[in-house]
Structure 1
Amino acid sequence: MSVQEAYAQKKMTASDAMRLIKDGDEIVVPTGVGEPPALLTALSEQRRSFKGVKVAQILAIRKYAYLDPETVDNIRHVALFYGAATRTGGQEGWIDFLPNYFSEIPCLIRRGLMPADVVFSMASPMDAHGYFSISLGADYTMAAVARARAVLLEVNPNVPFAYGNCHVHISQVAGLVESDEPVMEVGLPSIGPVQEAIGKYVAELIDDGATLQIGYGGIPDAVVMQLTTKHDLGIHTEMIGDGILTLLEAGAVTNRRKNYLPGKMVATFALGSKKLYTFMDRNPALEIHPVDYTNSPTLAGQNDNLVAINATLQIDLLGQCGSESLGHVLHSGTGGQADFVRAANLSRGGKAFIVLPSTAKHVTISRIVPVLSPGTHVSTSKNDVNYVVTEYGVAQLRGKSAKQRALELISIAHPKFRAELAEQARVMKLM
């Protein structure tokens, strides 16, 4: 049977594809815009006909109807990282949360610690050899494809065919659903004066030839905007977005000086504009790989001068970063922050930046605190944290004593809170 004949045989409607789902199945969905809207809409419409089905995903973008507290016995979402679509349900208790390092999710799947009975994913059109590219989110999805009983792809001509280890063969697929809606676009976050000030401090410490990992958010993008005059930057990241595209267009990124995969940008998922998705299509300068490859500290750390830029919500005077919750109330998840902080620490000349505004709620709350709020999840440990940057400066904590760390962090806190922090540090015998 030719690959074209196999394609015709496996083509079906989204509604018919739901017949391949069994009660008790766990459906694995890629991160972000890799989620397939036609398949998830059909699942939502038929949700009351299922029992005990779960949908596991690291970052849901759209709020589908199956995200419904009234039907959680039919279909329950398992969040590996909360976003706007799932945060409320998680905080109310009808969406589950699975703690993880982003880089280790494929391992959880391969070892059977995280079930993967069915895969739903967006995919590019099939090539002449029978391969689809799941370029928008290879992440843990490739591991799930290898283990799943049924792989269902939503084939869309607007999905780029990217290179790298992100290809699924027609022989691995149980069902194909066609759609032609534009891939969802996610714009750049807004950048204010605080974010711009932090971005300038970080940019001053990034040398020509550095390899970058850039997280999502206003501050990481503010850093990117300050790097357009740099030379020979490289990209080894988890997310490729429009900020990186800006650096490419400015000529700042060449990937020439990377030690690991020189000449290639590496990422595990995409989140951006139609312009970005068009850029990704059959571009030999970009490879999309599973997250246990892109986020592996030992692999990413082979790049000299690896720079990791990630945000946090709160940091204590020892340097513990609470990036995913305030107290016990979860806001997001660990994601790849710890992966890349460790990678940068392994890299020769590497620098890991944790960035945060000094205050919250209109300068009424300090984000630099004596101790993290009770119940806060520690995302990056005190032993891993390197540079901490606010709009008031830079604190370098590695190799520093507890007392030195407290002094460094107080010096970059908002002036309104420095005396209070110093007094609390004295009570804690840190000053």
Structure 2
Amino acid sequence: MASKAFLRRVPKLFKSKTEPTFLKRTFYLYTPEPFHPIPDRHPEWKRVEEAIKVIKSGDKIYIHGAAATPLRLVNSLTKHSLENKLENIEVIHIHTEGPAEFTKPAFEGIIRSNSLFIASNVRQAINEGRADCTPIFLSEIPLLFRRRIINLDVALISVSLPDEHGYCSLGTSVDCTRAAIENAKYIIALANHNMPRTFGDGLIHQSHIDAMVEEKYVPIPERPQKALSEAELEIGRLIAENLVSDGATLQMGIGTIPDAVLCQLLNHRDLGIHTEMFSDGVVDLVERGAITNAKKVVQTGKIVSSFAVGSKKLYDFMDNNPFVVMSDVSFTNSTAIISQNPKVTAINSCIMVDITGQVVSDSIGTRMYSGVGGQIDFIRGAALGLDGHGKPIIAMSSTTKKGDSKIVPFITEGSGVTTTRAHVHYVVTEFGIASLFGKTLRQRAYELIKIAHPNHKESLEKSAFERLKCMPAP
């Protein structure tokens, strides 16, 4: 049964004598909920230790992710679970910031993590069997909560301070969190003075929050841009000069290669952003006038994203800025929505590609590394662009840090295929662009070997002949 606190948050309109109240939630697209104010209901402002006391053994806990990770709440959760000898708590999240202490061996049997997208702070625990991961498209994570496949007892979230009308913002990360708070029986919010107030689907009324903890002094997690290698800069140049047109709608995955592309688009015009995430590089393009969003069909004139991670410069840019719309990930990553925009150019990176075009992005052999994320959502959305000018791009350096080729004859045993050979259109390394759409297997092998590192071309040709029983050919 749903708790009384949860039922109080449900509007009378949805109540039914014959059906449990929580089943009356409708699939969200344009009518966000919980948005409306609930008369005479206010959150209880508490110290963090008091707020966390509601968590008990066996609870399923959602943790807000990325730059919105409520670190103070998470730290208190780990302390509370140890001190009170709690058991069998499951925490559910996409990638989070911070040390993720709950994945350490000391928490075995107390807290078990379930990652819907793997970050470096949980990778070891997953590969040692002390934590779980769920393979899932980023666009479909909200369905886990809306279809009540996962039922949450508590959601730990970060919000901006309530405004004069009582509205808070999920700030930098709306993603799947909107769906999680629709599902959760009890919501604890860290009201962070440093959380930017953003527009879009992330606005929620404080009356839907059960407990709030004030955070005055600790900034939200930052992830400044890394220095770019020569190979990454060359990949960025190749994509910027050959595959990104003026008026294109851009999606960038996370990492240095998307950053390398963005920094070389300063002279482009009327670019638009419809993406699952963005970082500092977008701010520079806005300030330069390269990004206007003027040609977009969906949310014309506005940057559309579901979460953002970067430096304080990025967060200051987002704060109270109507140019940026933070949306539910089931909207941003819907192929039907993505495909409506002009010249959709989706830029994603990967771990390896085999000579037939199969792309591995989430694992290295049996070792889980990241997640499916939104790669397929946007690769497919770009390919299905209604204007016929979409460009789905997989980009990677030709070799690993150890010098091994990322273009391989066979995928390493145990690795998962994230993007199938039928989905792939363009693969880019620092040595060129391979166009694979409509190519046979031997033509694909030829195109991919052309953009491999010179040290590996001969061995790849031999392996391709052994696999295909013929020589790669244009």
TM-score bucket (shorter structure): over 0.9
Q: Distance in 2 between matches of 1:404 and 1:398?
A: 10
- How far 1:189 moved relative to its partner? 2.2
Code of the residue aligned with 1:228 in structure 2: it is L
CA contact (8 A) 1:61 1:84 kept: no
- Residue of 434, 437, 440 corresponding to 1:401: 440
Code of the residue aligned with 2:316 in structure 1: it is T
The yes-or-no answer on 1:120 pairing with 2:159 is no
Q: Which sits farther off after the overlay, 45-54 or 281-290?
A: 45-54
Deviations 1:128-171 (A, max 9, x none): 22211002211111111111100111001111111101122122
CA contact (8 A) 1:25 1:53 kept: yes
The yes-or-no answer on 1:291 pairing with 2:310 is no
- Residue of 97, 115, 120 corresponding to 2:133: 97
The yes-or-no answer on 1:152 pairing with 2:191 is no
- How far 1:6 moved relative to its partner? 4.8
Q: Distance in 2 between matches of 1:223 and 1:279?
A: 20
CA RMSD between the two structures: 1.5
- After TM superposition, the structure 1 = structure 2 runs for residues 53-72 of structure 1, keeping only pairs within 5 Å, are 53-72=89-108
Deviations 1:67-107 (A, max 9, x none): 22222211111111221211111111101111111110001
CA contact (8 A) 1:297 1:342 kept: yes
- How far 1:302 moved relative to its partner? 0.9
The yes-or-no answer on 1:390 pairing with 2:429 is yes
- How far 1:5 moved relative to its partner? 7.9
- How far 1:124 moved relative to its partner? 0.4
Partner of 1:131: 167
Q: Distance in 1 between matches of 2:204 and 2:111?
A: 26
- Residue of 215, 230, 233 corresponding to 2:253: 215
Partner of 1:191: 228
Deviations 1:236-278 (A, max 9, x none): 0111210111111111100001111110110111101112111
CA contact (8 A) 1:311 1:354 kept: yes
Where do 5+ consecutive residues of structure 1 fail to align? none
Partner of 2:277: 239
Q: Which sits farther off after the overlay, 106-115 or 116-125?
A: 106-115
Deviations 1:292-350 (A, max 9, x none): 11111111111010111110110001111011111111111111111110111111311
- Residue of 120, 124, 142 corresponding to 1:106: 142
Please, what TM-score do these two structures have when normalized by structure 2?
0.88
Q: Distance in 1 between matches of 2:452 and 2:257?
A: 17
Q: Distance in 1 between matches of 2:398 and 2:306?
A: 31
CA contact (8 A) 1:3 1:129 kept: no
The yes-or-no answer on 1:33 pairing with 2:67 is yes
Code of the residue aligned with 1:175 in structure 2: it is A
- How far 1:61 moved relative to its partner? 1.4
Q: Distance in 2 between matches of 1:279 and 1:118?
A: 31
Partner of 2:289: 251
Partner of 1:380: 419
Q: Distance in 1 between matches of 2:400 and 2:322?
A: 43
Code of the residue aligned with 2:286 in structure 1: it is L
Deviations 1:188-240 (A, max 9, x none): 12201000111111111211000111111111111111101100000001112
Q: Distance in 1 between matches of 2:51 and 2:271?
A: 44
Paired residue secondary structure (1:106): helix
Code of the residue aligned with 1:358 in structure 2: it is S
- How far 1:115 moved relative to its partner? 3.0
Partner of 2:46: 12
- Stretches of 4+ aligned residues off by more than 4 angstroms: 2-7
Q: Distance in 1 between matches of 2:223 and 2:39?
A: 34
Paired residue secondary structure (1:395): strand
Q: Distance in 2 between matches of 1:236 and 1:354?
A: 17
CA contact (8 A) 1:310 1:337 kept: yes
Q: Which sits farther off after the overlay, 42-51 or 118-127?
A: 42-51
Code of the residue aligned with 2:409 in structure 1: it is P
Q: Distance in 2 between matches of 1:292 and 1:27?
A: 21
Please, what TM-score do these two structures have when normalized by structure 1?
0.96
Closer/same/farther in 2, CA of residues 157 and 5 from structure 1, 3 Å limit: farther
CA contact (8 A) 1:18 1:43 kept: yes
- After TM superposition, the structure 1 = structure 2 runs for residues 262-277 of structure 1, keeping only pairs within 5 Å, are 262-277=300-315
Paired residue secondary structure (1:254): coil
Where do 5+ consecutive residues of structure 2 fail to align? 1-36
Q: Distance in 2 between matches of 1:171 and 1:253?
A: 37
Partner of 2:114: 78
CA contact (8 A) 1:130 1:170 kept: yes
Paired residue secondary structure (1:293): helix
Code of the residue aligned with 2:45 in structure 1: it is K
- Residue of 394, 400, 425 corresponding to 1:360: 400
The yes-or-no answer on 1:312 pairing with 2:350 is yes
Deviations 1:357-399 (A, max 9, x none): 1111342x11101110011011111111111000100001111
- Residue of 463, 467, 474 corresponding to 1:424: 463
- How far 1:3 moved relative to its partner? 8.5
Aligned-pair identity in percent equals 39
- Residue of 375, 380, 386 corresponding to 1:342: 380
- Residue of 281, 293, 310 corresponding to 2:319: 281
Q: Distance in 2 between matches of 1:129 and 1:106?
A: 27
Q: Distance in 1 between matches of 2:350 and 2:38?
A: 47
Paired residue secondary structure (1:39): helix
CA contact (8 A) 1:109 1:143 kept: yes
Code of the residue aligned with 2:257 in structure 1: it is I
Code of the residue aligned with 1:22 in structure 2: it is K
CA contact (8 A) 2:68 2:221 kept: no
Paired residue secondary structure (1:152): strand
Partner of 2:238: 201
Partner of 2:12: none
Partner of 2:20: none
- How far 1:65 moved relative to its partner? 2.7
Q: Distance in 1 between matches of 2:281 and 2:152?
A: 33
